[in-house]
Structure 1
C-alpha cells in the first residue's frame, strides 16, 4: 500500500533534503509532500489523508506541537515524528505526551531518518490491521444476526425487522419490546441470548454499518448521513463512528471510497 508522508519545516533546505532522501529510499513508492508552515500543514491534512507527519517543533506562527494539538481536535491522527535543532528534554516530553513516536535532533542523519520512518510505517500498519479486524468482527456479528434470522424466536425476528425499519428514529429497548409485546427486562435477556450481543450494541453497530454504506456508496453530506442513521447531531455521530472505526466519517470516506 502506498503511503503519504507530509514534511513540515520552515527551512527550505531541511524540508527539501528530507523529501529527497525519502523519495530515493522508497523509490517513489511513497508520496512525499511538504509544507513550510503549520497552517499550510493543517490545510493539507484537512483536504487529504496523511499517513505520517514529520514536523519541525519550532516554527514561526504555529509550532509543531500546536499542529499536533489541532490535528487531535480534528480527530485526525497520523503517525508523528518531531524534529528539532534543540536538544531540550522538555520538548521531547511534551511531544511524547501528544503521541509522537520519535524525536529527531537536527541535523538528522539519513540512516536515522529512514529507520524512524520504517518504524512509523510499521506502527501505521499495526493500527490499520487493528481497524480491519474491528471491521471484520463488526460485519460478522451483523451478518451472523441476519443469517440466523430464521432460527430466532419469532419475537426476535420481528424485533430485528423493527430495528431495520426504524433505524432513522430513536429506537429504545422499551419501544421494541412493546412492538413485539414482551416485558422490557425479559426482551433484553432474550435478545442477548438469541443475537449474541446486547440490544444497544446491536443498534449502534447497525447504525455504523448503514453509515459506512452511505459514506462509500453515496455523496450525501455527512450531516445528512448522521440523520439518516438515527443521530441528531453530526458531532455525536462523529464521536461514535470514531470509537468504532478508529477514524472519522470524513477520513473513512476519503480513504476507502
Structure 2
C-alpha cells in the first residue's frame, strides 16, 4: 500500500487550531502522509469532490458550511474518508450528530497533541482495514463463493467435476472432456451441473479462470500473456476479452488500480 499517496485533510476556520494540527501531524507523519488544510467548508467540499482524501478532520461549527454539512455532503460517495470531528465542550450535541452521520471519533478543544496523534493513528488503521475489505470484495467472485461442494444437494459427479476443473484449470478444458472424465453424457452433465451449482459449466469455468487470474495479477509480476496461459487461455487477446466481460476493465488496469491502493472502478 502506497502510504505516500494517502491524504489527511484538516478543516477549521481558526488559523491557530488548523496550523497547529497540520504541524503536529506533519512531524508525526514524517512524509508518510500528505497533510492538507482548508479554512472553510466550501473549499473543503470542493477538495473532497475532486480528489481522494483518506482522513477528514473537521471542526463541527464553521460559518456558511459547517462540519456537519460537510459530512452530510459525503453521503452517497463510493469512497468516503474516515472522519474525526473537533469541537468545544459547549458543542457536544454537534459531536453526537456527527457520530450518527458516520464520524469515527472526536476531539475536544483545546487539543492535546498526544491525543490527536493517537486518535489519528486509530482512524487511519480503520481506513486501511476498510480499504482492505473493499479490495477483497473486488477480488472475490460471489457466484463462485456460493458453490459449495459440501452442500447436501451436490452429487458426487458434480463434486468430481469441480475437483477435476480445479486441478486442470491451466489446460484446454471442454465440457465434453470433463463429462467424459466422470462418465456422463455431455448433455446430461450440462443440465446436472447447472441444476446443482446454479451456473452453466462454461460460465463457471470462465469465472474460476478469471478468479485465479486476479490472484496472479496481485501476487506476482508475471506478464499478462503468461497469466492468461496459466489459467487456460491460448491467446492473451481472448483472455483480455473474457476478463473485461466479467470485471469491466482490462487485466493490466485491474492490476494497476489494486496495487496502487485504489479500489474504485
**TM class, shorter-length:** 0.5 to 0.7
Q: 1:149 to 1:95 in 2, by over 3 A?
A: farther
Q: Tell me which of 189, 206, 211 is aligned to 2:195.
A: 189
What runs of 5+ residues in structure 2 fail to find an aligned partner? 146-165, 179-186, 212-242, 257-261
CA distance in 2 between partners of 1:126 and 1:212 (Å): 26
Q: 1:94: how far off?
A: 1.1
What runs of 5+ residues in structure 1 fail to find an aligned partner? 157-180, 219-245, 250-257
Tell me the equivalent position of 1:211. Answer: 249
**Tell me, what secondary structure is at the counterpart of 1:147?**
coil
The size of the alignment, in residue pairs, is 198
- Are 2:12 and 2:18, in contact at CA under 8 Å, matched by a contact in 1? yes
**Which digits, 9 at most, give the CA deviation of each residue in 1:219-257, with x for residues without a partner?**
xxxxxxxxxxxxxxxxxxxxxxxxxxx9643xxxxxxxx
- Output aligned runs, 1:1-257, within 5 Å: 1-2=3-4, 3-138=6-141, 147=169, 150-151=172-173, 153-154=175-176, 188-189=194-195, 192=198, 207=245, 209-211=247-249, 213=251, 248-249=264-265
TM-score for both structures, normalised by structure 2:
0.59
Of Structure 1 and Structure 2, which has the larger fraction of its residues in helix?
1
Q: Who wins on radius of gyration, i.e. which is larger? A: 2
Q: 1:39: how far off?
A: 1.5
**RMSD (CA atoms):** 4.3
**Tell me, what secondary structure is at the counterpart of 2:75?**
helix
CA distance in 1 between partners of 2:246 and 2:50 (Å): 23
**Tell me, what secondary structure is at the counterpart of 1:80?**
strand
Q: 1:124: how far off?
A: 1.1
**Tell me, what secondary structure is at the counterpart of 2:169?**
helix
Q: 1:248 to 1:87 in 2, by over 3 A?
A: farther
**Tell me, what secondary structure is at the counterpart of 2:110?**
coil
Q: 1:114 to 1:195 in 2, by over 3 A?
A: farther
CA distance in 2 between partners of 1:152 and 1:190 (Å): 19
**Which digits, 9 at most, give the CA deviation of each residue in 1:123-162, with x for residues without a partner?**
01111221232233239959x7x93784452599xxxxxx
